[in-house]
Amino acid sequence: MDHFHIRDGVLHAEDLPLPAIAEAVGTPVYVYSRATLTRHARVFRDALGVLPDKRIAFAVKSNPNLAVLRVLAAEGYGADVVSVGEMERALAAGIPAEGIVFSGVGKTAAELARALEAGIGQFNLESEEEGLELAEIAVGLDKIAAVALRVNPDVDAGTHGKISTGKAENKFGVPFDRAAAIYARLASTPGLQVRGLAIHIGSQLSSLAPLEAAFTKIGGLMRAIRAGGHAVTHMDLGGGVGVPYKAGEVFPQPEDYAAMVARVTADWGVTLMFEPGRVITGNTGVLVTQVVRVKEGVGAPWVVVDAAMNDLVRPAMYDAWHDFEAVRPDGETFVANVVGPICESSDTFAMGRTIDRMKRGDLAVFRTAGAYGATMANTYNSRPLVPEVMVDGEKWAVVADRIEPATILAAERVPEWLA
């Protein structure tokens, strides 16, 4: 459920008509609904209420906007970060250091040191090598690093190959059959407090079955590690719960997910940790764009919009579907191809799709763009970095400026020896 609705023939974000934002800020622009964000944060948190002891760390990568993080901080969320840049954002938004989990396969020594100094709650180690390096840095700083070992369970998440992370051939975690030995080695390494296991098998999962298989597998590993005499007090089950992108698609609900977790983990006796991203932020945003022109095509017309793959890369990168709707639909539809202005064919949002009839100058939105939207934007083709707006009832604010090409150009220089 979200708070983007047609009212008096015009698409609104909460109580605000989207044309008002387009006029004031220009397009393309991401628009987030605070009520939708808060609602999703609460629904997920409340669903997990059936579990005795849990912590939720929002996957910052899905939407790192400071205002978004601020809303989630107020809802009691921690943060799952994968760089010091994300960590600094989480701290700036008021998320306590203790609630921050540092994931990621390539944390640098400098990042590990900075995170130790900040006093974050947990490091999710991706390798034995990383653990030994962290231990050395921690000893040097006279700190103890609380860590979980990320295990690769070799389970097929059944999602797009580019966002699958839990198969043996993926770069993430330590191999399942080596995990117990690595756990034991790290547990006896000064500077580390090894407290559990972590897992994350992929993103945009449409079924709970692979998650259940992975959790069951890692639960067995937990028992084996305990049988070897080591403590396991924290189990991080990652993120990955998918959301519908097409009207009518049915996805597992947070309550179904929580019930499955409760069943699988009933006798684990640990603090459970979660790293949801998309399920919290996906539906909270739309990308507002304007039709530049409609160009005649073979078979179907090309609707050329002013948003491009640099603003929303998911269709180009993962063949992802985003519903595309007119801001002022008149009830008529046509079959069209929706593309951006960038000079490559991958800058295509939809082919041969039945959409609201549109003409030059019309406003439209890509739906479900709150997760992995603005955060993946870039400036390819020397385009601006797309701005972000948050709406709260009738109030709204620009929560990230449009970064103009001139600003980026100003950071470049021609060396003297080329002058």
Give catalytic residue positions. Answer: 343
> Tokens standing for 14?
């909460």
- Which value, to the nearest 10 degrees, does the dihedral of the CA atoms of residues 200, 76, 245, 235 take? 20
C-beta closer to ligand LLP: residue 281 or 290? 281
Shortest Cβ 57–ligand LLP spacing (Å)? 8
C-beta closer to ligand LLP: residue 22 or 100? 100
Q: In this structure, what are the phi and psi dihedrals at residue 291, rounded to the nearest 5 degrees?
A: -75, 120
C-beta closer to ligand LLP: residue 279 or 304? 279
Whose CA is closest to 130, among 186, 51, 75, 52? Answer: 186
Binding region for ligand LLP (CB under 6 A): 59, 62, 80, 103, 163, 200, 203-204, 238-241, 275-279, 314, 318, 372
Shortest Cβ 107–ligand LLP spacing (Å)? 12
Distance separating alpha carbons of residues 414 and 13, to the nearest angstrom = 44
Long-range contacts of 353-359 (CB under 8 A, 24+ apart): 353/324, 355/303, 355/324, 355/325, 355/326, 356/325, 356/326, 356/329, 356/330, 356/332, 357/326, 357/330, 357/332, 357/333, 358/291, 358/294, 358/303, 358/326, 359/291, 359/294
Whose CA is closest to 61, among 372, 284, 370? Answer: 372
C-beta closer to ligand LLP: residue 302 or 318? 318
Shortest Cβ 268–ligand LLP spacing (Å)? 19
Shortest Cβ 172–ligand LLP spacing (Å)? 8
Q: Alpha helices of 289-369 — where are they, by DSSP H?
A: 314-318
Task: Answer whether 375's CB lies under 8 Å from 386's CB.
Answer: no
> Tokens standing for 299?
């078979």
> Tokens standing for 405?
């090409």
What is the chain's Cα-based Rg?
A: 23
C-beta closer to ligand LLP: residue 252 or 277? 277
Shortest Cβ 389–ligand LLP spacing (Å)? 21
C-beta closer to ligand LLP: residue 83 or 203? 203
Shortest Cβ 176–ligand LLP spacing (Å)? 17
Distance separating alpha carbons of residues 207 and 177, to the nearest angstrom = 26
